[in-house]
Amino acid sequence: MKNFSRILMAGAALAVLAGCATKRLPSEDLEVPILYPEEIAILKNPNIPSNSEEKYNAIKRLIKKVDFTFTREAKTINDLLYFGDGVPDSTDRPDRTITFNYQYGDHYVRLVFALYQTVVLRADVIEK
């Protein structure tokens, strides 16, 4: 009976852990620029406004494949997104929040990064 309950508990634990696994790559992964160069090129293009259909579709495709909540360095943000699209809440403080808002029509994707100097403390992705 003890063996059966142990097997049952192990199976339940595996089911929970497997169900929680993310299918997306962490934003810090070195393969992200290699796997998604088109989307990153569009997002880093300063000639395309952040409220364009092109940037909105690029960020939609990217957030389906890349998990931005794993972002821990400001360098990663700079590698994947155009800094000019970000709106900081303060430029003269070491702790700040930078918001990237990509919208088209009445839909948007908002990426909010809370930083302390060059370390990302929290990252949120809001989609409507």
- Residue burial 33-54, b: 16+ Cβ < 10 Å; e: rest: eeebeebbebbbeeebebebee
- Averaged in consecutive runs of 10 residues, what is the pLDDT profile of the chain (128 residues)? 55 54 86 97 97 97 96 96 94 90 96 96 96
The amino acid at residue 27 is S
Looking at residue 92, what is its pLDDT? Answer: 83
Looking at residue 11, what is its pLDDT? Answer: 56
Beta-sheet strands, E only, within the chain: 25-26, 66-67, 86-88, 95-104, 107-116, 119-127
Report the length, in residues, of the chain: 128
The amino acid at residue 76 is T
Looking at residue 90, what is its pLDDT? Answer: 83
User: How far apart, in whole angstroms, are the C-alpha atoms of residue 62 and residue 71?
Assistant: 14
Query: What are residue 97's DSSP bridge partners?
Result: 114
Looking at residue 18, what is its pLDDT? Answer: 52
pTM (2 decimals)?
A: 0.79
Classify residue 96 by burial, with Cβ atoms within 10 Å: 0-12, 13-18, 19+.
middle
Name, in order, each residue with C-beta under 8 angstroms of 113's C-beta and a sequence gap of 6 or more. Answer: 71, 74, 77, 97, 98, 99, 100, 120, 122, 123
Looking at residue 21, what is its pLDDT? Answer: 56
The amino acid at residue 74 is A
